[in-house]
Structure 1
């Protein structure tokens, strides 16, 4: 299995689908399914029954997973592809557009 190029906490831009051109922060990453959860993107409505946690129940709006191939990493305000490079003996992510080390 290859390494995910998008990590939790990254700012990303949606490049395909109904939410195209929206930007947001990655909330969660599912490596197995190759999906990411992005803040404010692919909003779903969920009808919930009253419970101890939510006394009233009702309609809840929450983010749905989006395929990792449909998002692009944002570096210095620009959407860029992500690559990997060896920095000494450590593997680091690199922004392809600028060549800068991300983390």
Structure 2
């Protein structure tokens, strides 16, 4: 997967289409990402010692990774990415439109 924690992403499908946010968590097994300020749902919470009032709270829920696209840090535009390499150790993620490496994978 090409999306990592703290990446800035654009939502390209769903009810929050067109909004941007920062990735808080990536679940690689289910293929879902949690993005700040995106896919907020209301959840009812029972009374407990930690929350003596209970009530309704807003919670960020994960969305499928195919519904987000990384935003290019240089110009702030969401662009497609490519990857190449034969193994996990030799994997290189790059900007598909220019061929330059992205983020920590830069050589």
TM-score, length-scaled by structure 2: 0.81
Runs of 5+ unmatched residues, structure 2: none
How far has the Cα of 1:90 moved from its partner? 4.8
Tell me the secondary structure at the aligned position of residue 69 of structure 1. Answer: helix
Counterpart in the other structure of 2:10: 13
Asked if 1:54 is matched to 2:51, the reply is yes
Give 1:19-30 correspondences, 5 Å limit: 19-30=16-27
Counterpart in the other structure of 2:71: 74
Q: Count residues with an aligned counterpart.
A: 98
Give CA deviations for 1:41-95 in whole Å, capped at 9, x if unaligned: 1111000012222222111101111111110000130101222246xx7533212
Structure 1's 56 and 79: CA in aligned 2 closer, same or farther, altered over 3 A? same
Query: Which structure carries more strand by proportion?
Result: 1
| Distance across 1 between alignment mates of 2:31 and 2:15 | 19
| Distance across 1 between alignment mates of 2:50 and 2:100 | 45
TM-score, length-scaled by structure 1: 0.84
Counterpart in the other structure of 2:96: 96
Runs of 5+ unmatched residues, structure 1: none
